[in-house]
Amino acid sequence: MQIKDINGLEIINNEKINSQFLSTINNDLNKECKTYFGNFFLDSFNYFPITEENYTFKDHFSWGNTYKYENFYSQKFIDNFYVKKNNFSKFSNAFVLGSSVSDNYYRNIITFLPRLFFIDDKEINLVLHRNSSNRFRELIKQILKQLNVKVKKFIYLDDDFYYFENSKMPQFFNNSFSIKILNKILSKNISDKKNKLYLSRQNSNYRNLINEGDIIDNLKDLDFEILDANNISIKEQIAKFSEASVVVGPTSSSLANIIFCSPGTNVIEIIPRYQFEYENELKSRYSEICNEIGLNYFSIEADPIEKNKIPNNVTKYIAPKVLDESNYYKDLLVEKNKFKQLVNNY
């Protein structure tokens, strides 16, 4: 038996399938969200539901690089799925928000969080990955409190497949919409922008700026605040970025916070030397955010420095070939005078 994908038009034209999709409208955003309601199987990496009738819905539940979904239709996957599916752990009456299996901040904020604003229940059992940070969980609690939604309990998933009964799964939105709604709902609309922020990645697993000490003195002379986003709450990050006139930093998930900046903010990204087609989505992440909400984007390329060892919690989710060849997973060395010349303009 095969797994069949049902596209958006087919959903509309099939009365039975269409009845399994609830429509939730956020009037403030003037946007509709389609939520699947019923019984389905789900993996905790892609959050790609497979119904009991062996249907999938790529039009509603795809995000990121779409090539990964080809696996779900391969014979190897199908054979393995049918052998194991009756033994999957089961949850009932759940709302599947989900979160990044590696607790990636960019992915949690851009891909998963926006769907939170389309809950029409007053009480829910909320599903997240167990690896989600306490900071992300706290932000979710704060938002749901403002939405008058009570979380009866959190359900935490490990790296596995699960069976959900009588549960809800909201669609994923494209990046453009996600960026705009987060900026509209969560940014603070500060009229007097004065903060200059430099985002440090020191002590990160990879992509550290190894000559950061050489440029920090210059940044401090220009009244930059040196910020390690890991040391403050997401609520505090939102406030700081809402007030920023300039944001500078190496490529990192913390740069996703520029979605909370006001139009006209200057963003300077220190980027690795990209070489491969599979890096295109990483390469355009933050320039895309800037284009969507009217920020001024600039970049400066840094030289890659070989990293001796990548921690196991990183290598677990990334192909060895990519770790070996991509500069995205190496440390960086930025040319000091070139960097100083660019930053001094702001």
**pLDDT, position 311:** 67
Does residue 92 fall inside a structural domain? yes
Side-chain-facing half-sphere of 110: CA atoms under 13 Å = 21
Same-domain check for residues 231 and 153: no
**pLDDT, position 179:** 94
Domain finish residue from 174, 200, 225:
174
Same-domain check for residues 213 and 127: no
Q: What is the mean pLDDT of residues 284-311?
A: 90
Residue scoring higher pLDDT (27 or 183) = 183
Alpha-carbon distances, residue 302 vs 168, 190, 205, 327 (angstroms): 44, 32, 17, 10
Same-domain check for residues 317 and 249: yes
Does residue 113 fall inside a structural domain? yes
Judge whether residue 193 has pLDDT over 80. Answer: no
**pLDDT, position 45:** 95
- Phi, psi angle pair for 248, to nearest 5°: -130, 140
Query: What CATH number should be reported for the domain holding residue 241?
Result: 3.40.50
Judge whether residue 142 has pLDDT over 90. Answer: yes
**pLDDT, position 323:** 83
Question: Of 268, 313, 283, 274, whose CA–CA distance to 102 is shortest?
Answer: 313
**pLDDT, position 28:** 78
Does residue 181 fall inside a structural domain? no
Angle at 95 between CA 118 and CA 46, to 5 degrees: 95
- Phi, psi angle pair for 170, to nearest 5°: -75, 150
Q: Which residues of 95-134 are buried (b: 16+ CB within 10 A; e: fewer)?
A: bbbbbbbbbbbbbbbbbbbbbbbbbeeeebbbbbbebbee
Share of the chain above pLDDT 70, in %: 97
Over the stretch 73-87, which tens digit does the pLDDT of each residue have?
Answer: 999 999 999 999 999
Judge whether residue 1 has pLDDT over 90. Answer: no
Does residue 182 fall inside a structural domain? no
Q: What is the mean pLDDT of residues 311-315?
A: 68
Q: What is the mean pLDDT of residues 313-342?
A: 86
Same-domain check for residues 250 and 339: yes
Q: How many domains would you assign to the chain? A: 2
Judge whether residue 182 has pLDDT over 90. Answer: yes
Judge whether residue 307 has pLDDT over 90. Answer: no
Judge whether residue 13 has pLDDT over 80. Answer: yes
pLDDT band at 114 (very low <50, low <70, confident <90, very high): very high
Alpha-carbon distances, residue 283 vs 157, 201, 303, 328 (angstroms): 30, 18, 15, 9
Q: What is the end-to-end Cα distance of the chain in Å, rounded?
A: 61
Judge whether residue 324 has pLDDT over 90. Answer: no
Same-domain check for residues 148 and 260: no
Judge whether residue 194 has pLDDT over 90. Answer: no
The least confident of 22-31, 37-46, 247-256 is: 22-31
Same-domain check for residues 92 and 222: no
Residue carrying the six token digits 């709902």:
185
Same-domain check for residues 133 and 266: no
Judge whether residue 235 has pLDDT over 80. Answer: yes
pLDDT band at 90 (very low <50, low <70, confident <90, very high): very high
Judge whether residue 190 has pLDDT over 80. Answer: no
Rg of the chain in Å (alpha carbons): 21
**pLDDT, position 137:** 96
**pLDDT, position 127:** 98
Between CA 294 and CA 309 the distance in angstroms is 39
Domain span holding position 73: 4-174
Same-domain check for residues 161 and 283: no
Tokens of 99: 């979160």
pLDDT band at 29 (very low <50, low <70, confident <90, very high): confident
Same-domain check for residues 244 and 107: no
Same-domain check for residues 49 and 90: yes
As a whole number, the mean pLDDT across the chain is 92
Judge whether residue 192 has pLDDT over 70. Answer: no
Does residue 244 fall inside a structural domain? yes
Q: What is the mean pLDDT of residues 297-322?
A: 81
Between CA 43 and CA 52 the distance in angstroms is 14
Same-domain check for residues 98 and 239: no
Judge whether residue 284 has pLDDT over 90. Answer: yes
Residue scoring higher pLDDT (259 or 314) = 259
Same-domain check for residues 145 and 250: no
User: By CB neighbour count within 10 A (0-12 exposed, 13-18 middle, 19+ buried), where does 204 fall?
Assistant: middle
3-state secondary structure the chain: CCCEECCHHHHHHCHHHHCCEEEEEECCCCEEEEEEEEEEEEECCCCCCEECCCEECHHHHCCCCHHHHHHHHCHHHHHHHHHHHHHCEEEECCEECCCCCCCCHHHHHHHHHHHHHHCCCCEEEEEEECCCCHHHHHHHHHHHHHCCCEEEEEEEECCCEEEEEEEEEECCCCHHHHHHHHHHHHCCCCCCCCEEEEECCCCCCCCCECCHHHHHHHHHHCCCEEECHHHCCHHHHHHHHHCEEEEEEECCHHHHHHHHCCCCCEEEEEECCCCCHHHHHHHHHHHHHHHHHCCEEEEEECEEECCCCCCHHHHCCCCHHHHHHCHHHCEEECCHHHHHHHHCCC
Does residue 180 fall inside a structural domain? no
Does residue 179 fall inside a structural domain? no
Does residue 129 fall inside a structural domain? yes
